[in-house]
Amino acid sequence: MHDYSDDSPREECGVIGLSSTGTQVAQQTFFGLFALQHRGQEAAGIAVADGSTARIHKEVGLVGQIFTPERLAPLVGSHAIGHTRYSTTGSSGARNAQPFLVETMYGPLALAHNGNLVNAAYLRSELLTRGFGLTATSDTEVMTLMLAAAKGDTWEDRLATLMPSWIGAYSLVILVADTVLAARDPWGFRPLSVGRLPDGGHAVASETCALRTLGCTDIEEVRPGEIVVMNGTDIRRIQAVPAAATLSRCTFEFIYFSRPDSDWDSMNVHQVRQRLGEQLAIEHPAQADVVVPVPDSSIPAAIGYARVSGIPYNDGLIKNRYIGRTFIEPTQEMRTRRVAMKFNSLPENLAGQRVVLIDDSLVRGTTAGPLVTLLREAGAREVHLRITCPPIINACHFGVDMGHDNDLIAARMTVDELCRHVGADSIAFISIEAMMAALGKTNGYCNACFTGEYPVEITRRHTKSQFDHVLA
C-alpha cells in the first residue's frame, strides 16, 4: 500500500552478507537487516548455507514481522545473505522478494542486489532467447540466472566475467555453499562496506551502521569494481574490473537515504547533513524567529542552518514513527489529511513565529503544501521553506524511485510557482555548488536527477513495472 503522507524519494534496498565461524548466522543477519530497515520496507529475506545445503525464508513485510524465532530456527549455517526491499524494477509482490535462490551445476546460489541495471531489458531478452524461464520481473533474477550459467573455474571468476555486461548500479551479496561474495559496480553508485566480526568472520552491508550493530571492526568500503570473497576468517579482495575514471556515488545517500550514524566515502552522514544546512543558511538566509526541521532526515540540516544563521532551533513537527507501511487503506477523509497521519504540530513552539522550515527534498510536491498549512494552522506567522538539495528535475535510473520526469514538480514549475503552490512565504533550494561544498567534493558523485547529465548512456527510459505486462 501507499504511504499517503510521504513525498520523499523511495528507499532503494539494503543488503547484508556474513561468513561466520559459528552457526547462528541467521540471527546475526536478522539484526543487520533490522539496522537497514529504513532502506526498504516492502519485503525482506535471508538465505543461509551450511557448507552443502542452502535454505531461505522471504516474505512481504517488515523485518521484525517476517523473522520470528520460529522462522529463524531452521536457517542453520555459517554463511548468509539478507535483503530488505523497496522495488525499483519489478512490482512489490512476493515473487520479487530477495534473495533469489537457485540450484546450479556448481551447487546452490543465492543473490541479493541493491541498485538498478539500465540494460536490464536487453539482458532479460537475451535470457528468454536462450530458453531460460523467468519467474519474476526483477533485474535481480536476471543477474542470478546469468551467474548460474556463467563459465569459469570459481564463483569469483564467473562473477568477474559478468560484471562488464551489467551496466548501472549494483551492490551485490552472493551466497554459495560455503562462501559469501560481494561486489560493487565500477561507478560506485550504491554504498557497500566490509568489516571483521567479533568471532573473526566477516560481514558486508549497505551501510556501516549495520556492521557496527554486529560489532564489526576494521570497517572499509568495498571499492568500485571490486569482488570480496569471505569464508569465515579468510577474506580475499579482487579488483575484478577497473573503477570508472569518474565515480558516480549517489548524492542522495547523504541527503536522505543513509542512516545518520553511517559513514561513506570517509564522511559521516550526520555531519554532512549539518554542513548542508550550514551552506543553505549562507546561500539562502531568512528573516525568521525559529528553525524547524521536517523530521527525521532534516534534523541535522536544521541544526546546521540554525548554527550559521543564529536563529534558534526548535521542534515544530512531531513525527509518528510507527506509521511505516500500512496495509489499511485510508478513508477519503484521511487521504485529504494525509500529512496528519504522519505529523502533528507543536503550536506552543510556532504561534506568532516566523518559521524557517527545513526539508531534504521536494519531489512530487504532495507534502510541502500540507506541511506549510499545518504550521500556519498552529499559528505560524510566516513560513520560509528551505530545501537541502537542488530542484529534482530528472528521473533516476540507478535504483531510486523518484517517479518519472512528468511526476517531478520542479520540472513543471518555476521556483515562484512552487512557492505559490505550497503556500510558503518564500522557498529556496541549495545550489549544486553549495551542496558539493558540503561534501567537500567537486566530482565523483551522480547528480543526474538535478542536472540530467547521466554518468552512463540511457538508451531506454526505465519504468519500475516495465516487465510486469506478462507476469502480472
Measure the CA–CA gap between 85 and 263, rounded to whole angstroms.
Answer: 21
Q: For 110, what's the count of Cα atoms within 13 Å in the CB-facing half-sphere?
A: 29
Grid coordinates representing 242 are 577497473
Give me the residue label for grid cell 536457517.
75
User: The C-alpha cell of 139 is what?
Assistant: 533485474
pLDDT, one tens digit per residue, over 351-386 is 999 999 999 999 988 889 999 999 999 999 999 999
The answer to whether residues 341 and 319 touch, using CB atoms and an 8 Å cutoff, is no
Pairwise pLDDT comparison (337 vs 200), residue with the higher score: 200
Q: Which candidate, 250, 216, 443, 213, places its Cα nearest to that of 361?
A: 250
pTM for the structure as a whole: 0.90
Q: Tell me what pLDDT residue 471 has.
A: 54
CA angle 213, 216, 297 (to 5 degrees): 40
Residues in the chain: 472
Catalytic: 250? no
Identify which of 155, 173, 82, 162 has the alpha carbon closest to the alpha carbon of residue 119: 162
pLDDT band at 402; cut points 50, 70, 90: confident
Q: Using CA atoms, how far apart are residues 92 and 350, in angstroms rounded to an integer?
A: 39
Q: What is the pLDDT of residue 407?
A: 80
How many secondary structure helices (H) and strands (E) does the chain include? 16, 23
Yes or no: is domain 271-444 CATH 3.30.56.10? no
Residue 392 confidence (pLDDT): 95
How do the residues of the chain divide into helix, strand and coil, expressed in percent and rounded to 5? 30, 25, 45
Quick check: 434 pLDDT over 60? yes
Strand stretches in 217-368, DSSP E: 217-221, 226-231, 234-239, 249-250, 263-264, 267-268, 290-293, 317-319, 343-345, 354-359
**pLDDT exceeds 70 at position 3:** no
Helix (H, G, I), strand (E, B) or coil at 370: helix
**Max CA pair span of the chain:** 71
Reference 198, options 186, 214, 182, 210; nearest CA is: 214
DSSP-derived pairing of the beta strands 354-359 and 382-387: parallel
Give the integer Cα–Cα distance in Å for 201 and 188: 25
* Mean pLDDT, range 424-442, rounded to an integer: 97
Burial 146-156 (b: 16+ CB within 10 A, else e): bbbebeeeebb
pLDDT confidence of residue 324: 53
Percent of the chain with pLDDT over 90: 81
Quick: pLDDT tens for 214-236: 999 999 999 999 999 999 999 99
Distance between CA atoms of 455 and 426, rounded to whole angstroms?
A: 33
pLDDT in tens, 97-113: 999 999 999 999 999 99
Looking at 13, 209, 216, 389, which residue is catalytic? 13
CATH 3.40.50.2020 region(s) of the chain? 271-444
Peptide bond just before 296 cis, omega within 30 deg: yes
129 burial via Cβ count (<10 Å: 0-12, 13-18, 19+): exposed
Predicted local distance difference test score (pLDDT) of residue 318: 95
User: Which pLDDT score, from 0 to 100, does residue 9 have?
Assistant: 56
Question: Which of 5-19, 168-182, 210-224 shows the lowest per-residue confidence on average (mean pLDDT)?
Answer: 5-19
Mean of per-residue pLDDT scores for the chain: 91
Helix (H/G/I), strand (E/B), else coil: 111: strand
Superfamily of domain covering 13-248: Aminohydrolase, N-terminal nucleophile (Ntn) domain (3.60.20.10)
**Backbone phi and psi for residue 109, each to the nearest 5 degrees, phi listed first:** -145, 125
Alpha carbons 154 and 176: distance in angstroms, whole number = 11
Start-end ranges of CATH 3.60.20.10 in the chain? Answer: 13-248
Contact 383, 355 (CB under 8 A): yes
Higher pLDDT, 95 or 49: 49
- Residue labelled with grid coordinates 541467521: 26
Cis preceding-peptide flag for 99 (omega within 30 of 0): yes
Q: How many CB atoms lie within 10 A of CB 266?
A: 7
